[in-house]
Homo-oligomer: A and B are copies of this chain.
Amino acid sequence: MLKGAVANLFNLSFNAASDVPLYKQLAEAISGLISRGLMQAGERLPATRELAGQLGLNRTTVSAAYAVLEESGLIQGHVGRGSFVAKGGIAAPAASTDWGAILPPIDLGFGLSIHETEISFANSRPAGNGFPLAQFRRLSKQVIDSPDAAEILQLGSPHGYGPLRRYLLEQATAAGIARPGDDLIITNGCQQGLDLLARLFARGGESVVLEDPVYHGLVRVFSRAGANILSIDLGETGIDIDRLEEVILQHRPRLLVLTPSFQNPTGITISCEHRKRIVELAQRSGVVLLENDIYSELRYYGTALPTLKELDETGNTILLRSYSKVSFPGLRVGWVIAPRAVIECLAEAKQISDLHSDQLSQAVLLRFAESGELAQHIERTRRSGRERLNAVLRACAAHLPSGTKFTRPEGGMSLWVELPAPLNAENVLSRAQERGVNFLPGRYFSARRTHARGLRISFGGLDTEQITRGVQILGEAARRELSASAVSAKSEPAAALV
């Protein structure tokens, strides 16, 4: 492992979805390291070529970032010697506050490591070119012109915009998902649902069971809340139920968090029989079941399975849903269905968090759902998703090196690849990025294990040509890395006997 400032620099990550150009993101990140005392005055920055190589950026991007930092007086360039952190640049005025000592440590690896590549499998989000813009425009204008506009613009309720809340609760009740003792709260997407629930159920170092690999935002929300994270390995055929039972009986966790349909990152779906066993186990042991159900509508093959919430006749399962994956992620609307006592506590936590969710988007999404346009959009997304899924499975079978394992989801946006030994996903990523292809390596999805040979392919935002070409390049990168590691294994001197 690298140490100190260089390790911090080489672990920087960037957000390609941001409007901020990459050179500015890099300049700001370095400026942050300097202002937090993680890079000291006089310290030498890596050569632009070296940093560019490590971060998978163009050299011009790094040069532009250095130029910005030099201009603001934070670093100084010396011809032939390189760039150095300046002593007290103008961006760091005489400060009585030592932020480095006060602020909590930031995890620089948290942000998605998205580089400037042509084909990115890194983002689990729907394709923007599939957005039904004309319908969105027509329906939004209806909302804006409606007599409800004044009410939408006024202060609202922590529980959510009344008409949307009633609509969602009626739909869930009609579908047998919400029970008489249940209630519903609207959140800023599912992430806020998780955050509010973590405040309720993981406040005193309680144990929380997560799947492994798992979506990193899910690990973060519970670990930041102070939970003791336990994990259940996902194998090729899904969650290990016997192991789950052992963990529950041994550790008596407060919470079990599952994504039963098209799990992120693996795409794995828990079978109906296993769902029943899980619900029965939760009832027997008193563990609270949290069902993260944001992908289930994106089923391209097979038949829909009942949610854990439906199977749990005690009504105690907590269900999270969202419009983000099936409509417009930029409109932040998710919801939680749970027993009334839980929703009451969530509403109080929500009020403390941000009073209530934005009402304009709630009203627009309600109109989108009520008009039937959402259902039509989901139908179109399923058709195109089926083609994407076919393309990615075909390409994986054709182009990945022999010995590679990958999941075969029936829906969702992602699948999971396990490269054969001695490959390492991060090394393959570096090679793939050189050829313009990006993905997230296994370590981003670690609940406990490192998943060094694992990687996620998110295919939801790409067309079938991009998918096929991207997987082909990924396969070539893996094979080149295999050859290189065979050579390096041969040339490695014998280890000392100790």
| Partner of A96 from B19, B284, B345 at Cβ < 8 Å | B284
Residues of B contacting A98 in the complex (Cβ-Cβ under 8 angstroms): 286
How many copies are assembled?
2
The residue on B at minimum CB distance from A355 is B191
B128 contacts A154, C-beta separation under 8 Å: yes
A371 at the interface (CB under 8 A from B): no
Closest-CB distance, A159 to chain B (whole angstroms): 7
Pick out which of these stretches binds chain B: A358-366, A384-392, A424-432. A358-366
The residue on B at minimum CB distance from A179 is B93
A30-80, CB < 8 A from B = 31-32, 35-36, 72
B103 contacts A341, C-beta separation under 8 Å: yes
B137 contacts A153, C-beta separation under 8 Å: no
A423 at the interface (CB under 8 A from B): no
Residues of B contacting A166 in the complex (Cβ-Cβ under 8 angstroms): 19
A395 at the interface (CB under 8 A from B): no
In whole angstroms, how far apart are the Cα atoms of A175 and B102 in the complex?
28
Take A19-B157, A104-B200 as given contacts and tell me if A110 and B348 are in contact as well, using a CB distance cutoff of 8 Å: yes
A6 at the interface (CB under 8 A from B): no
A156-171, CB < 8 A from B = 156-157, 159, 161-163, 165-166
A340-398, CB < 8 A from B = 340-342, 344-345, 348-349, 351-361, 364
Take A107-B348, A353-B195 as given contacts and tell me if A329 and B131 are in contact as well, using a CB distance cutoff of 8 Å: no
A407 at the interface (CB under 8 A from B): no
Take A93-B314, A102-B288 as given contacts and tell me if A154 and B330 are in contact as well, using a CB distance cutoff of 8 Å: yes
A483 at the interface (CB under 8 A from B): no
B155 contacts A342, C-beta separation under 8 Å: no
Take A188-B354, A348-B107 as given contacts and tell me if A313 and B93 are in contact as well, using a CB distance cutoff of 8 Å: yes
B200 contacts A103, C-beta separation under 8 Å: yes
A205 at the interface (CB under 8 A from B): no
A355 contacts B328, C-beta separation under 8 Å: no
Pick out which of these stretches binds chain B: A138-146, A245-253, A490-498. A138-146
In whole angstroms, how far apart are the Cα atoms of A92 and B344 in the complex?
15
The residue on B at minimum CB distance from A356 is B332
A181 at the interface (CB under 8 A from B): yes
The residue on B at minimum CB distance from A94 is B314
Offer 7 A-B interface pairs, CB within 8 angstroms, sorted by A.
A31-B340, A107-B348, A155-B329, A195-B353, A224-B352, A330-B358, A331-B360
